[in-house]
Structure 1
Amino acid sequence: MTEAAAIARSSGPVTQARLVVDFQRLGVTPGMTLLVHASLSRIGWVCGGAPAVISALLQAVGPEGTIVMPAQSSELSDPSGWCDPPVPESWWETIRATMPPYDPRLTPTRGVGQIAEIFRTWPGVQRSLHPQVSFSAFGPQAADILARQPMEDPFGAQSPLAALSDRDAQVLMIGTGWETCTALHLAERLAQPDGPTFQDGTCITVEGERRWVRLCLPVTDIERFQPFGATLDGNALLRHGHVGSAPSRLFPLAPAIRMATERWTGSEAA
């Protein structure tokens, strides 16, 4: 969405103060741990842009709260699997040989929106070490949440998602659809711990040297997120509201993961 379109859909500027009130009305409270997915354009014309949204989130949870966002960098993968857009096969070996290694300080996010990208660079924000599907976090629980993320099981029982579940985190979706709900990847892994995998590659630094490494990663299926989300939308666990003009949701991560795991385990068994 263009800035002109955001202005057209807004009844007035969305200020940081209004955002704080909207978060509070939705159920965000001081001390809360939040996994946030957000679309800046869906909020409307925000006075101050993405930094204003981040400042409002930090204000709403206060100094005892923790904010977490996906910080995915899908371009650090094997070019043979790229499809949006693909690159010529004749380029693949050059890309593998020259791709810069993952650097949690410098590697930009891809496909997670302006708010997550600005949050990644926010003073004091920490980032996990997975080269493709990292998370960034700010707050007293950030280091513990990001401490573990296995290279070949980045969404499983030892991941930041599992740490968030253990800490009674809430998921805040601001103008985003269920296909963006990264937390549900944890339910996939719990439902199918020995599920299908695929071969990939990435570039990392090992003992000070750049290395291209091969990975065996779990297959994910976001096509089932929407049907499950439609069920959750009608559950009392989930609160609906608006942040600016953006339809938004707030729900506890752990119960939602239990529900999705039970549903998908049952469907696989059937």
Structure 2
Amino acid sequence: MTEQAVIERVETPVTADDIAADLRALGVDPGETLIVHSSMSALGWVAGQQQAVVEGLQRAVTEKGTLVVPTHSPQFSDSANWSNPPVPDAWVEEMPERMPPFRPAATPSRGVGAVPECFRTYPDAVRSRHPEYSFAAWGADAEAVVADHSYDNGLGEGSPLAEVYDRAGRVLLLGVGHSVNTSLHLAEYRADFEKGRVCHRAPVVEDGERVVVEYADIVTETADFEDAGAAFESEVGVAVGTVGAGDVKLLDQRELVDFAAEWFEARR
């Protein structure tokens, strides 16, 4: 979408205060735990762009609450699985040795949008240690949500997603659909069906030293995430509204994960 098209979606620029007010009208409560997936362009023209979105989210939950966003870095995944574009086979084995280590405070996110990349740099935001599936958090429980993120099964138990579940958090889809709803990955891990496994190697920093860690994950799949999300909305329900020009949805993460785990078991 061009910037001109984004401008034309709104009558006046969307502000951080507008975003906070729209979120309150949707049902976001001060003090709650909220995991957010977002699209800047879906909101229309925002005065201050992603910075305004971050500050609008912060004002909605306040410092008594906790915001969580995915800050994934697939550039640290196993290069043997890269396809857009692939790299020569001869590069794959030595790729982890050639890369700098993943650094939570410095390594950029990739493929998750402008808002998470801005969010992770904010004062008092903290980021988990996983080289591929990190999350950043801000607020009252931020440190606890991202602490000790398991290398193995990075979107399952021992992940920030599981921490949000334990805190009865909610999911905010800010101008995006369920295809990017990472909480559905937690449901994949918990569902009882046959899963493939894949191993990874990535450089990280531990105790001040660069080391290459090896970890294993299930083979995740997102092709049916929209269908799972639609079924949840139909059978359980979500709150719907708008923020700026964008359609938004607010849903209970624990209900979603439990529902989707059963849904996957019946269909995969």
Q: Could you say which TM-score interval applies, normalised by the shorter chain?
A: over 0.9
Structure 1 portions without partners, runs of 5+:
none
In 2, the alpha carbon distance for the partners of 1:171 and 1:209 equals: 36
Deviations 1:222-267 (A, max 9, x none): 1121111111232453111111111110001001111111222233
Gaps of 5+ in 2: none
The 5 A counterparts of 1:182-201 are 182-192=182-192, 195-201=195-201
SS at structure 1 position matched to 2:29: coil
| Matching residue of 1:44 | 44
Shift of 1:11: 2.2
Query: Distance in 2 between the 1:244 and 1:177 partners?
Result: 17
Deviations 1:1-59 (A, max 9, x none): 23222112222211122111111111111111100001011111000111111111111
Partner of 1:131: 131
User: Shift of the alpha carbon at 1:85?
Assistant: 2.2
User: How many residues align structurally?
Assistant: 268
Deviates more, 1:12-21 or 1:207-216: 207-216
After TM superposition, give the deviation of residue 207 of structure 1 in Å: 4.3
Q: Do structure 1's residue 20 and structure 2's residue 20 form an aligned pair?
A: yes
After superposition, residues 1-270 of structure 1 pair within 5 angstroms as 1-93=1-93, 95-192=95-192, 195-268=195-268
Return the offset for 1:92: 3.1
Match of 1:158, SS state, is coil
Q: Does structure 1 conserve the Cα–Cα contact (< 8 Å) formed by 2:26 and 2:241? A: yes
Asked whether the 8 Å contact 1:37–1:172 carries over to 2, the reply is: yes
Q: Please state whether the residue corresponding to 1:13 is helix, strand or coil.
A: coil
2:62–2:139 contact (8 Å) kept in structure 1: no
Offset of 1:143 from its aligned partner? 1.3
In structure 2, relative to structure 1, the CA distance for the partners of 1:207 and 1:194 (3 Å cut) is farther
Shift of 1:145: 1.2
* Same amino acid, percent of matched pairs: 38
More deviation in 109-118 or 213-222?
Answer: 213-222
Deviation at 1:148, TM superposition (A): 3.1
Q: Secondary structure at the match of 1:35?
A: strand
Residues 16 and 55 of structure 2 are in contact (CA less than 8 Å); yes or no, is this contact kept in structure 1? Answer: yes
Structure 1 range deviating more: 122-131 or 144-153: 144-153
- Worse overlay, 232-241 or 248-257: 232-241
Looking at structure 2, the residues matched to 56 and 211 of structure 1 have their Cα atoms a distance apart, in angstroms, of: 38
Distance 1:57 1:237 in 2: 23
Q: Using the TM superposition, give the Cα deviation of residue 137 of structure 1 relative to its aligned residue in structure 2, in angstroms.
A: 0.2
Cα distance in structure 2, aligned partners of 1:206 and 1:146: 16
TM-score w.r.t. the length of structure 2 is 0.94
Check conservation: 2:145, 2:160, Cα contact below 8 A.
yes
Counterparts of 1:207 and 1:192, CA distance in 2: 37
SS in 1 for 2:87: coil
CA RMSD of aligned residues (A): 1.7
Q: Secondary structure at the match of 2:80?
A: helix
Output the amino acid matched with 2:203: C
Which amino acid counterpart does residue 195 of structure 1 have in structure 2? K
SS at match of 2:199: strand
Indicate conservation of the 8 Å contact 1:237/1:252, yes or no.
no
| Larger CA deviation: 216-225 vs 94-103 | 94-103
Distance 2:246 2:258 in 1: 27
Q: How far apart, CA to CA, are the structure 2 residues paired with 1:193 and 1:127?
A: 31
Give the C-alpha shift of residue 88 in structure 1.
2.7
State the distance in 2 between where 1:126 and 1:76 align. 19
Give, in angstroms, the shift of residue 156 of structure 1.
1.6
